[in-house]
A = this chain, B = another copy of it.
Amino acid sequence: MNPARTANTARAHSTRKRTRIQEANEEKILDAGLEVFSTYGFRGATVDQIAALAGMTKPNLLYYFRRKDDIYLAVLQRTLEMWLQPLAALSAKGDPAAEITAYIDRKLELSRENPKASRLFAIEIMQGAPVLGEVLSGRLKELVDEKAAVIRAWVAAGKLAPIDPYHLIFMIWATTQHYADFEVQIRAVLGDRADRGDHFDTARRTLERVFLGGIDGTTPPA
Chain A: residues with CB nearer than 8 A to chain B? 38-44, 96-97, 100, 119, 122-123, 125-129, 133, 136-137, 140-141, 144, 154-155, 158-164, 166-168, 170-171, 173-175, 177-179, 181-182, 184-186, 188-191, 193, 202-203, 205-207, 209-221
Which B residue sits closest to A155, measured CB to CB? B217
Q: A175-B171, A202-B167 are in contact. Are A161 and B214 (CB under 8 A)?
A: yes
Residues of B near A123 (CB, < 8 A) are 41, 123, 126
Q: Shortest distance in angstroms between A117's beta carbon and chain B's nearest beta carbon? A: 13
Q: How far is the CA of A2 from the CA of B20 in the complex (A)?
A: 38
The oligomer's copy count stands at: 2
With beta carbons under 8 angstroms apart, the residue of B41, B163, B219 that contacts A210 is: B163
Taking CB atoms, residues of chain B closer than 8 Å to A211 are 210, 214-215
Are the CB atoms of B214 and A213 closer together than 8 Å?
yes
Name the B residues within 8 Å of A128 (CB-CB).
39, 184
A167-B202, A175-B175, A190-B166 given as contacts; is B100 within 8 A of A161 (CB)? Answer: no
Contact in complex: B217, A214 (CB < 8 Å): no
Q: Is A215 in contact with B126, judged by CB distance below 8 angstroms?
A: no
Most buried by B among A119, A164, A184, A211: A184
Contacts of A125 in B (CB 8 A): 181-182, 184-185
Measured in the bound complex, the distance between the Cα atoms of B45 and A203 in whole Å is: 34
**Known A43-B44, A137-B191, A171-B175; contact A129-B214, beta-carbon cutoff 8 A:** no
Q: How distant is A221 from chain B, measured CB to nearest CB, in Å?
A: 7
